[in-house]
A and B are shown apart, each in its own frame.
Chain A
Amino acid sequence: MNPSATKDAPAQEVHPIPRVSLLLWFALLGALAGVFLLELCLGSVTIPFGSVLAILMGDSEVPEGWRQIVLLFRLPRAVTAMLAGAALGMAGLMMQTLFRNPLADPFVLGISSGASLGVAIVVMAAWGFGWTAFIQKAGISAGASLILAATAGAMGILSVIMALARRVESNVTLLIIGLMFGYISGSLVTILFQFTQEQQMQTYITWTFGSFGGVTWSQMTLFAPTLLVGLLLAWSLSKPLNAFLLGEGYARSMGVNVRAIRLWIIVGASLLAGTVTAYCGPIGFLGIAIPHLCRMLMKTSDHHVLAPAVILVGAIVALSADLLAQVPGARIVLPLNAVTALIGAPVVVGIILRRRHTMEVGA
């Protein structure tokens, strides 16, 4: 249960891990550092690598404009991408284990749709009451209400699903119910649009394109701690999650308080997916693709291994997607969601075709 214990995961007797995976961990860390630096160096404005390093070292000789671009735009963007990728991957991992379904992710279960509904209500209500009054206090308060709305929307949808989960036995049924609730919140958003001005609608639509670039340092003071808490919570659930892999009956026989753990899984996944969705928009495919990538890389379903792997791989994939979306060298930018779907969908198809039993223990 202790998060730090997971570092010893390779030595655990339950799932012996080949030594090569130590190398793998270092390779992942190296890759993360690499894409992180690339994210800081590449952009539509060309800034030499040396200058970027100098800026990071606190050198004030570098032109002021470059420093602002790196420190105020690229750095928060990179941190946001890392956190968001890790959070979506983790939420996806928990959902896939909880429902024992390889296709589960925050989207399929309506969490993201719920978050979208929450945001839509806030964005439109804000305009109704006067955008000014709402945003006047600026920064934290506005951001906080967005996070609250998105998280509340996400939790609302998932709690309904879980309440129904007590009645239905089949996870497939539950999944379908989740999908249907996703459609319901989608249609509620559409209905809201009928009473909406074009500007608000434009705000909402561009929000759905997804972006890591909108989080400023002052918003980061809420964004990062929330996600870190969510990630730690998820990581600390590794042991019961492992038990869930063999079914609730087995988990119960292992002494797991199924009801309580299920609740914590819901809270964790909603917090992670809801927060990311609030700030970055509903970003697709990372939640479903990253856990699969990690299972393939680590050749295990042990959550003590998968949790840190998902955090690392999630950060790497999200940063890479953002790099592509920014089309280095060009002055235009692509919507992030277009890129994640473009690289995420084939990955999922490939993995599922290659590994039919990808959800099985130790597969």
Chain B
Amino acid sequence: MKASGTFYPTLSGRRAGQRVSHASPAKSLWGVKLLLAAAGLLFCFAASPFSPSAAHGGESGPFPHKAQLRHAEGFTLQYHDTHKKIQVLNPWRGARVTFTYILIPRGGTPPENIPSDAMVVEIPLERVVLGSTTVITFFPMLGVEDSLVGFSGLKLVNTPEVVELIGQGKIQEVSAAGEGMTRQLNLEMLFVLQPDLVMVHGTGIPQFDTHPKLLEAGFNTGVAGNYMESSPLGRAEWIKFVAAFFNKERKAEELFSRMEARYQAQAEAVRGLKERPTVFCGIPLQSTWYMPGGSGYIATFLRDAGADYLWSEDDTRGNMALSVENVLERAKDADVWINPGAAGTMDELLGVDERFSLFRAFQRGRVYNNNARISPGGGNDYWETGVGRPDLVLADLIRIFHPHLAPSHELHWHQRLPWQREKPRREKP
């Protein structure tokens, strides 16, 4: 199955014509079957021995395990008799488009009356290409990392299981040029890899977005918008998005529920605390201070960790561009400063701008950054495996703000910035 598995035509029509002809002789047979399948519903059932019944894990319909969403707001997941329907609602800031996916068992027929822009994907996926690290951590969590055949920017990866696969040469580089921010996907490589799905994230900025070109080339393209979720649990719940493509809902639900419980228990433990250290974030670039919005991801973490974020009343989700004097006035006496850009030491911070020493948090050495784990190519693990483990990120933050509540926890993604170090990127809890 795997050998000839590079060829899985869908009935969406736009792919079949663009397939290169290295497919096995089974191709014509497939074509006939699919034609017949499309012609009559009865034959459809006859043609379905290819549907991977093992993955269904039960007798009661094709999708016995149904995931329920509790935190994620960026996608919906619906179960029908013959298919699942996923809709990505908020792929990027201010997006006016949504993406709809119709998931059908392998060899199955797509239902009638599906939206014209819907993409039909046969599941479970066997060959996946990822365009960024935003969802990569969910693959080993679900035990489906073996399905990864390509990734854009291999040097950015931190996830240990995936790094190992890369080391074994099982995952190909699909980036077209270098590892920079403007990297595009190498379409020719994708034609060789023949993925069932290319999962990317969108930005809404045409120069950076890869999905229009992928769709045009006929690839099934998943646009994951988990980085748009403003709550950490919502972002982590995208494990169910990935799981749906592998019929791994049960595992996803199990993992997520446990994590959710741990997260909420920790948040509950600090909720009643009277003493809430004041905190501010970020660093100015060319005298504009980019401060996380009070309704965003970082702000939610800070609130749940029992800190008093100085811009928590703000309702922005993205970053706010503030003037430095504005930040100085409000945050001068704050207790803690977190995530000061790329700084790895206090000296670096001072080298950027010696006026940082005006902040009390700096004077007292209470400056923490989330860059303790960086891949050789500069990928920050906080935005990679951290996305899948909000409970551990929260534990880090509680350790920072309320050390007495977590005396045994060692900082994982965060580090207290030290003075003068010999070598860059030394990992220190």
Q: Which residues of A contact B (CB under 8 A)?
A: 43-45, 65, 68-69, 72-74, 77, 130-133, 135-139, 142, 193-199, 201-203, 206-207, 209-214, 216, 218, 281, 326, 331-333, 335
Contact = CB atoms under 8 A, between A and B. Distances in A.
B323 A139 contact: no
A121 to B, nearest CB: 15
B351 A138 contact: yes
Nearest to B182: A193
Contacts of B345: 132
Interface in B210-248: none
A137 B351 CA distance: 7
Contacts of B424: 130-133
Which 8 pairs from chain A and chain B are nearest by CB? A213-B287, A194-B178, A197-B378, A135-B351, A138-B351, A211-B286, A206-B285, A130-B424
B350 A138 contact: yes
A210 B329 CA distance: 23
B367 to A, nearest CB: 15
Contact of B341 (A135, A136, A199, A335): A199
Contacts of A333: 287-288, 321-323
A214 B286 CA distance: 6
Given A72-B358, A198-B181, A218-B354, A131 B286 contact: no
B348 interface: yes
B353 interface: yes
12 contacts: A44-B325, A45-B326, A132-B347, A142-B351, A193-B181, A197-B181, A199-B341, A203-B285, A211-B286, A213-B287, A214-B353, A216-B354
B180 A132 contact: no
Max chain B C-beta neighbours (<10 A), residue from A43, A135, A139, A142: A135
B421 A132 contact: yes
Contact of A199 (B347, B354, B378): B378
Contacts of B347: 132, 135-136, 138
B181 A130 contact: no
B71 interface: no
Contact of A201 (B180, B321, B324): B180
B55 interface: no
Interface of B: 177-183, 285-288, 320-326, 328-329, 332, 341-342, 344-345, 347-348, 350-355, 358, 377-378, 420-421, 423-425
Given A45-B329, A201-B180, A207-B285, 17 more contacts: A43-B323, A65-B329, A131-B348, A133-B424, A135-B351, A135-B352, A138-B350, A139-B351, A193-B182, A194-B177, A196-B180, A199-B342, A199-B378, A211-B288, A281-B286, A326-B323, A333-B322
Given A44-B325, A213-B287, A218-B354, A332 B320 contact: yes
A197 B180 contact: yes
Contacts of A332: 320-323
A209 B288 CA distance: 10
A195 B285 contact: no
A101 to B, nearest CB: 31
Contacts of B322: 44, 331-333
Report which residue of B286, B323, B328 has the largest number of chain A beta carbons within 10 angstroms of its beta carbon: B286
A197 B344 CA distance: 16
A211 B424 CA distance: 29
B378 A69 contact: no
Contacts of A136: 347-348, 351, 420
B182 A73 contact: no
A45 B324 CA distance: 10
A209 B286 contact: yes
Contacts of B286: 206-207, 209-211, 213-214, 281
B355 A72 contact: yes
Contacts of B325: 43-45, 69, 73-74
Contacts of B354: 138-139, 216, 218
Contacts of B353: 214, 216
A201 B178 contact: no
A209 B423 CA distance: 32
A196 B377 CA distance: 9
B324 A135 contact: no
Contacts of A139: 351, 354
B181 A196 contact: yes
Contacts of B342: 131, 199
Given A193-B181, A213-B286, A198 B358 contact: no
A333 B377 CA distance: 32
A27 B358 CA distance: 39
Given A195-B180, A333-B288, A73 B326 contact: no
B324 A73 contact: yes
Contacts of B180: 193-198, 201
